[in-house]
Amino acid sequence: MPTAMITGASRGLGAAIASALAPTHTLLLAGRPSPRLDAVAARFGASTWPIDLADPESIPAVVEPLTELDVLIHNAGVAFPGRVAESTLDQWRTTLEVNLLGAVALTLALLPALRAARGHVVFVNSGAGINASPGLASYTASKFALRGFADSLRNDEPSLRVTSVHPGRIATEMQQGLVVYEGGEYDPARFLSPETVAQVIADAVNAPPDAHVHEVIVRPNRR
């Protein structure tokens, strides 16, 4: 089976992506070692890779054994709710390190393996990567930059498929924190389910080889 590496797979959307791809791919779950990541790996017979996106210099040595990789899914991310005046430089630094620079470092380290497989890189972006989201200043900036990196990668690496996925708000722990910041009551029924977004991502990954899905935008269907 083809191989797929997923970052941020210990919970939420990442675990749902692992479930959606498990029937068709051998899974490599990348992230900081944790019991939650081990549990997801055990569910799907996956292997774990101890990758810390906040420490980009350590990444090349960890992924060096991989000579071919069919799919790389950048799902890991952090968000600090706050408008510009409420944000701190440390929050900006952490957000950009994980959401942007970590993804760049992992992609660069795996480029030879992806080229060898004529692989596919998927960036789980956000609606905030298209339109700025109030109360998410540093997160919005990181997602705009991530979209730019994806577009550049697509232009510069014609042998690869590169997809940016821009979901609306998803029912995850991160979403709960944002709702608390907004002073609202968390109702998961208002948001996309992780399983729905994971299926959209799996459909893009499993598209026929002559199809190159550049961008996917998916929003909750509020009836």
Tens-digit pLDDT profile for residues 140-174? 999 999 999 999 999 999 999 999 999 987 876 67
Residues 85 and 163: their CA atoms lie apart, in Å, by: 33
Residue 223: its pLDDT value, please?
Answer: 56
Query: pLDDT grade, residue 95 (50/70/90)?
Result: very high
Q: pTM of the predicted model, to two decimals?
A: 0.93
Share of the chain above pLDDT 70, in %: 91
In the chain, alpha helices (H): 12-21, 35-44, 59-63, 89-96, 102-117, 137-156, 173-182, 194-205
Beta strand segments in the chain, E: 3-7, 26-31, 47-50, 71-74, 120-124, 161-167, 215-218
- Averaged pLDDT of the chain: 92
Question: Quick check: 9 and 37 in contact, CB under 8 A?
Answer: yes
Among 23-37, 117-131, 182-196, where is mean pLDDT lowest? 182-196
Q: Is the pLDDT of residue 16 over 80?
A: yes
**Which domains does the chain possess?**
3-208 (3.40.50.720)
Q: What are 1's two structure tokens?
A: 């089976």
Residues 178 and 49: their CA atoms lie apart, in Å, by: 29
Residues 107 and 110: their CA atoms lie apart, in Å, by: 5
Indicate the length of the chain as a whole number.
223
Residue 173: its pLDDT value, please?
Answer: 66
Active-site positions?
Answer: 139
Residues 77 and 96: their CA atoms lie apart, in Å, by: 9
Tens-digit pLDDT profile for residues 37-79? 999 999 999 999 999 999 999 999 999 999 999 999 999 999 9
Question: Quick check: 169 and 220 in contact, CB under 8 A?
Answer: yes
